[in-house]
């Protein structure tokens, strides 16, 4: 017959849960910074592809479509990249400004502008309309800058 766990064992388990729970939460919190950083890195990569193709004399339409698709997806997913508590904090490397959470309406408006312009970009690329992609590339770039100017700290 199994012995019932003693008081000390129970205390130890309780203590472990108390200590570990915030650690797990912290792990998730740390993960969101990396997820967000990697996502923007991926977005920058796609943007470079668009730029490189658009300045070429014979743009690769398949590459344009794929990159525009990546930008469009990012513009949809970005709404999940800024959960509460993923802002600037001691020991954290992020260029996300506290204003993202202190001015949520302005931030949401900036996110929506990017989403709207990126959707148009995706449609132009899907239609293989290089001239429209070129035009919309500029509009998306402006939407990026619009948000970065207010909600991202400048590079050191």
Residue 119 Cβ vs another protein, minimum distance, rounded to whole Å: 19
Q: Based on the shown chain and the rule CB under 8 A, indicate whether residue 44 belongs to the binding site for another protein.
A: yes
Q: Based on the shown chain and the rule CB under 8 A, indicate whether residue 88 belongs to the binding site for another protein.
A: no
Residue 144 Cβ vs another protein, minimum distance, rounded to whole Å: 6
Residue among 123 and 148 whose Cβ is closer to another protein: 148
Which residues between 54 and 73 bind another protein (CB under 8 A)? 55-56
Q: Based on the shown chain and the rule CB under 8 A, indicate whether residue 74 belongs to the binding site for another protein.
A: no
Q: Rounded CA gap, 82 and 20, in Å?
A: 24
**Among 120, 123, 134, 148, which residue interacts with another protein (rule: CB under 8 A)?**
148
Q: Rounded CA gap, 29 and 27, in Å?
A: 5
Q: Based on the shown chain and the rule CB under 8 A, indicate whether residue 155 belongs to the binding site for another protein.
A: yes
Bridge partners of 96, per DSSP, are 152
Residue 117 Cβ vs another protein, minimum distance, rounded to whole Å: 14
Cα 31 to Cα 36, 77, 155, distances in angstroms: 9, 16, 22
Q: Based on the shown chain and the rule CB under 8 A, indicate whether residue 83 belongs to the binding site for another protein.
A: no
Q: Rounded CA gap, 71 and 140, in Å?
A: 9
Q: Based on the shown chain and the rule CB under 8 A, indicate whether residue 47 belongs to the binding site for another protein.
A: yes
Number of residues that bind another protein (CB under 8 A): 20
Which residues between 90 and 119 bind another protein (CB under 8 A)? none
Site residues for another protein per CB under 8 A: 40-41, 43-52, 55-56, 141, 144-145, 148, 154-155
């Amino acid at each position: 017959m199994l012995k019932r766990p003693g008081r000390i064992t129970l205390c130890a388990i309780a203590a472990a849960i108390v200590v570990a729970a915030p650690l797990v939460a912290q792990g998730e919190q740390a993960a969101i910074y990396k997820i967000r950083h990697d996502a923007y890195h991926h977005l920058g990569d796609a943007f470079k592809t668009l730029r490189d193709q658009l300045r070429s004399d014979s743009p690769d339409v398949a590459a344009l479509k794929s990159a525009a698709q990546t930008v469009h997806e990012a513009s949809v997913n970005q709404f999940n990249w800024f959960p509460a508590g993923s802002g600037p904090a001691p020991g954290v490397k992020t260029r996300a400004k506290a204003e993202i959470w202190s001015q949520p309406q302005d931030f949401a408006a900036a996110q929506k502008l990017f989403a709207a312009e990126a959707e148009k970009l995706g449609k132009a690329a899907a239609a293989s309309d290089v001239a429209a992609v070129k035009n919309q590339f500029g509009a998306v770039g402006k939407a990026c800058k619009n948000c970065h100017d207010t909600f991202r700290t400048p590079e050191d």
